[in-house]
Structure 1
Amino acid sequence: MLIRPVALDDAEALTDLHLDVWEEAYTGLIPDEILIERRSQRSARVDRWRTNIQTGRFSSVVAEGEEPGRLLGFASAGTARDDAPGLPTLELTALYVRAERYGTGLGHALLEKTIGSSAAYLWVLDGNQRATAFYERQGFRFDGETKVDPVGIERRMVRG
Structure 2
Amino acid sequence: MPDLRPPTPDDAGAWFDFLIAQQAIAYAGIVPDDFIERQQAERADWLKGLELKFSAPGTARRLVAESEGRLVGVASVVDGPADWEVSLGYVPSPAPRELSRLYVAPEFHGTGLAAELFDRLDDGTDLYLWLIDGNERAHRFYRSRGFVDLAENFQAGDSWGNIGMHRMARLANG
Q: Which residue of 1 aligns with 2:31?
A: 30
Which of 115, 118, 133 is the equivalent residue of 1:111?
118
Which of 135, 142, 145 is the equivalent residue of 1:128?
135
Q: Which residue of 2 aligns with 1:16?
A: 17
TM-score (norm 2): 0.81
Matches within 5 A, 1:80-99: 80-81=80-81, 83-84=91-92, 87-99=94-106
3-state DSSP of counterpart to 2:125: coil
Which of 149, 155, 158 is the equivalent residue of 2:166?
155
Deviations 1:3-44 (A, max 9, x none): 111111211221221122112111211111222222354444
3-state DSSP of counterpart to 1:63: strand
Determine if contact 2:61/2:76 at 8 Å carries over to the other structure: yes
Deviation at 1:145?
A: 1.6
Determine if contact 1:124/1:132 at 8 Å carries over to the other structure: yes
Change (3 A) 1:89 1:41: closer
Residues in 2 aligned to 1:120 and 1:141: alpha-carbon distance in whole angstroms: 11
Determine if contact 1:20/1:98 at 8 Å carries over to the other structure: no
Residues in 2 aligned to 1:147 and 1:62: alpha-carbon distance in whole angstroms: 28
State the one-letter code of the partner of 2:15.
Answer: L
Q: Which runs of 5+ in 2 are unaligned?
A: 82-89
Deviations 1:47-100 (A, max 9, x none): 3321322342632111111x12x1110111111115337x22111111111111
Identity %: 31
Q: What is the total number of aligned residue pairs between the two structures?
A: 157
3-state DSSP of counterpart to 2:34: helix
Q: Over aligned residue pairs, what C-alpha RMSD do you find?
A: 1.8
Residues in 2 aligned to 1:35 and 1:64: alpha-carbon distance in whole angstroms: 22
Runs of 4+ in 1 over 4 A off after TM superposition: none
